[in-house]
Amino acid sequence: MTAPSPTLTLVAAIGLCAGIATLVWLALATLARIAPRASLTMAGANAAALLSLVLRASRGSMPGTPASWLGDTLAVASAALLGVAVMAITTRRLHWKAAVMVVSLAALALLALPDDGDLRWRVRIISAGGAGLLLAASLTAWRSLSDEAKKDGRSTLAPLVLPLILIALLMAVRGIATFIAPVASLDVHVPTSLNLTLLWSALTAMLLQNTTLAFLVLLRLIRRIERLLERDPLTDTFNRRAFDRALADAHAWLGRGRGYALVMIDMDRFKQLNDSLGHAAGDAALRLMVEQLRPCLREVDRFGRLGGEEFCVLLPDTDLAGAALVAERMRALVEATPLRWQDQDWPLSASFGIAEAERADASADAVLARADAAMYRAKGQGRNVVQA
């Protein structure tokens, strides 16, 4: 009995990985319902890779048949689906259009090629289409993850897409190799050292792309759970626990020379609004106020809901004068934007209290108490004012 050729063994290993990955992603999408759209797309990417491998491996026995063309097209489709899955996980949207367009163009180009045994243009089309789509998807994912991290004030997950950029580069290298390597060696069945290297790279890429995507799905789930634990569901501001943690962190920096200020915000005559228009209108007013005030804040600022209609903004590296400016801008904005409810305008206003952290403050609670006292002074002065 003769030993199987090393290239065939590697092709079988890649196929096995693609088959197992298809089943795992299908189970994630349908049984566990974890990131179902992205998981289903990943199942599609692996299934397309497996089918493409089988069809392209049998090219020798059925040259020039539709099966051979389908195998090449599926190779591009697999990379396209991988790109769509990456973007689905990172941007939470399915970007199909560019993928469908590139795969269709590649399919047409592959159809137009003469079947004379010269694989150079086939490999170039597959490499260019696959590498281009995957690179574009990875860069979009990178941008989306970076933007999200800036918004949430967390470290970015963007480097997680680096393995996918590497895979896109490997695909490009495969295309470039067609300009250098002898024509006869482009058939992967021929066990040249170039083909063995390419097949090992493809096996690594197959494992890498699935583990990278699984990692992204997992981290996204963790981030979502963290977000649920630290956000107020009505206004999407920090809840009391998360705000207290941010405040304690800011206070710890005070000893190292980085100050901060607080702006306490309390809506005026909110009970009256609730009693007159109903609780739903009260909720809408809280959401409206938060939406209005968000543009006043920097990425480093923290907006928290302390309870009911009371909010607090933490302004790092800010003194009392800076906090007064921000608070006055906020006060004017709330006053200028009435709540539109059932075709009627209900005027809104809020009272503001500001305080700057001082080295003598033993804890953040002392600063919070000063801002709270200032806010109550604002209420006492007839509301809709800023007090220090």
Ligand X SMILES: Nc1nc2c(ncn2[C@@H]2O[C@H](COP(=O)(O)OP(=O)(O)OP(=O)(O)O)[C@@H](O)[C@H]2O)c(=O)[nH]1
CA separation for the pair 168, 162 (Å, rounded): 10
Nearest-approach distance from CB 351 to ligand X, in angstroms: 7
372 scored as a contact of ligand X (CB under 6 A): no
Residue among 163, 259, 282, 353 that touches ligand X (CB under 6 A)? 282
Residue among 96, 200, 270, 346 that touches ligand X (CB under 6 A)? 270
Crossing angle of the two packed helices 240-254 and 364-380, in degrees rounded to 10: 110
Closest CB to ligand X among 154 and 271? Answer: 271
Nearest-approach distance from CB 289 to ligand X, in angstroms: 12
Within the chain, residue ranges assigned H as helices are: 6-30, 36-57, 66-91, 97-112, 120-152, 162-180, 193-230, 240-254, 270-277, 279-293, 320-336, 364-380
Closest CB to ligand X among 72 and 268? Answer: 268
271 scored as a contact of ligand X (CB under 6 A): yes
Question: Residue written as tokens 């962190």?
Answer: 249
Tell me the Ramachandran region of residue 239: left when phi exceeds 0, alpha when psi lies from -120 to 50, beta otherwise. beta
Closest CB to ligand X among 149 and 281? Answer: 281
Give whole-number Cα distances, 221 to 62, 90, 103, 228, in Å.
Answer: 46, 11, 31, 11
Residue 75: what are its φ and ψ, rounded to 5°?
Answer: -65, -45
Longest dimension (CA), the chain: 97
Residues 233-252 that bind ligand X (CB under 6 A): 234
Residue among 274, 325, 333, 366 that touches ligand X (CB under 6 A)? 274
State the virtual CA torsion across 199, 203, 206, 212 in degrees, nearest 10: -120
Nearest-approach distance from CB 376 to ligand X, in angstroms: 9
Assess contact for 126 and 75: CB atoms under 8 A: yes
Which residues are catalytic, by number?
309
Closest CB to ligand X among 5 and 272? Answer: 272
Residue among 145, 209, 268, 315 that touches ligand X (CB under 6 A)? 268
Each residue 184-223 as x (binds ligand X by CB under 6 A) or -, in order, gives ----------------------------------------
69 scored as a contact of ligand X (CB under 6 A): no
Residue among 267, 313, 326, 385 that touches ligand X (CB under 6 A)? 267
Residue among 72, 266, 301, 356 that touches ligand X (CB under 6 A)? 266
Stretch near ligand X under the rule CB under 6 A, chosen from 6-14, 164-172, 174-182, 261-269: 261-269
Buried b (16+ CB within 10 A) or exposed e, 320-342: eeebbebbeebbebbeebebebe
Q: Which residues contact 33 (CB under 8 A, 6 or more apart)?
A: none
Residues 304-363 that bind ligand X (CB under 6 A): 308-309
Site residues, ligand X (CB under 6 A): 234, 266-272, 274, 279, 282-283, 286, 308-309, 379, 383
